[in-house]
């Protein structure tokens, strides 16, 4: 993915990027920019991500993939022009959505309140079941099952260290780095962000780490807009000043 982005900016004759930013899978792409093309960016913002998936993170994705492939309409991926594997994709989305939230956010949002309907005879009739059922059904209307399979495989296969120690993969990087994490994120816990920070420090990279106190879980990187805006704005202002960027000599600001 990053190779395609690099090809695009090359086609646009853009040599230097003021900053590359991304959260979750986008954060992995930022790490790839730092390791694969360290000479093309002045700063990077890594949000709620990891340098490589843990066995638990891979396991959640594999259950979702198995749900899709077990759907009789998947047909080894040759379902176009026919009935799509909506049931399997819906279940995959439900599993994923659980990991995006936190125990606190789910308790606050749903509690033990009863739902409006029972989608099947074994349902406990709870509001959280209605929510997951509706999220799954909504997702299949705008997303493709094969795309889900390929994207989750790409995420699970990603390793910013490329089989080495991460700090060795980062040692050519001269860019300033901001790493943001969220305390209630259990999909990409703060401990994984701290490992990125540690590797950056060992590689001699000017790195800032901020851990935001939020109850939204992994979804926080999409919801804590005000706090993130404050931190990112300050970081970019500093990066702009330190790189001598003016209206006459502007480095293109690029975000993933």
Distance of CA 140 to the CA centre of its chain: 20
Could you tell me which of 56, 129, 68 has the C-alpha nearest to residue 93?
A: 68
Distance CA 19, CA 211 (A): 20
- For this structure, is 24 an active site residue? yes
Which is the catalytic residue, given 19, 43, 218, 219? 218
Catalytic residue of the set 24, 43, 90, 214: 24
What is the token pair recorded at 77?
């991926």
**Which of the following is catalytic: 71, 130, 185, 219?**
185
Q: Could you confirm whether 185 is annotated as catalytic? A: yes
How far is the C-alpha of 187 from the C-alpha of 53, rounded, in Å? Answer: 10
Segments in 79-126 forming alpha helices (H): 86-100, 103-109
Q: How far apart are the first and last CA of the chain?
A: 11
Tokens found for residue 23? 């959260």
Rounded CA separation 42/238 (Å):
11
Q: Which residues are catalytic?
A: 24, 185, 218
């Amino acid at each position: 993915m990053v190779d395609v982005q690099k090809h695009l900016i090359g086609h646009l004759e853009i040599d230097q990027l003021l900053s590359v930013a991304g959260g979750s899978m986008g954060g992995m792409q930022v790490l790839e920019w730092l390791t694969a093309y360290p000479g093309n960016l002045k700063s990077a913002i890594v949000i709620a991500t990891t340098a490589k998936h843990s066995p638990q993170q891979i396991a959640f994705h594999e259950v979702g993939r198995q749900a899709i492939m077990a759907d009789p309409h998947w047909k080894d991926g040759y379902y176009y022009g026919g009935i799509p594997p909506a049931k399997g994709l819906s279940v995959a989305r439900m599993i994923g959505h659980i990991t995006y939230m936190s125990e606190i956010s789910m308790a606050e949002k749903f509690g033990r309140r009863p739902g409006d309907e029972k989608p099947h005879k074994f349902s406990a009739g709870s509001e959280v079941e209605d929510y997951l059922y509706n999220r799954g059904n909504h997702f299949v209307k705008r997303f493709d099952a094969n795309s889900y399979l390929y994207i989750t495989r790409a995420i699970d296969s990603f390793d910013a260290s490329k089989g080495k120690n991460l700090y060795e993969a980062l040692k050519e990087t001269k860019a300033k780095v901001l790493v943001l994490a969220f305390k209630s994120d259990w999909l990409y816990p703060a401990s994984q962000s701290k490992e990125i920070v540690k590797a950056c420090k060992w590689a001699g990279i000017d790195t800032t780490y901020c851990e935001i106190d939020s109850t939204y879980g992994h979804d926080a990187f999409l919801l804590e807009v005000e706090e993130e805006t404050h931190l990112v704005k300050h970081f970019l202002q500093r990066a702009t000043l330190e790189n001598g960027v003016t209206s006459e000599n502007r480095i293109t600001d690029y975000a993933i």
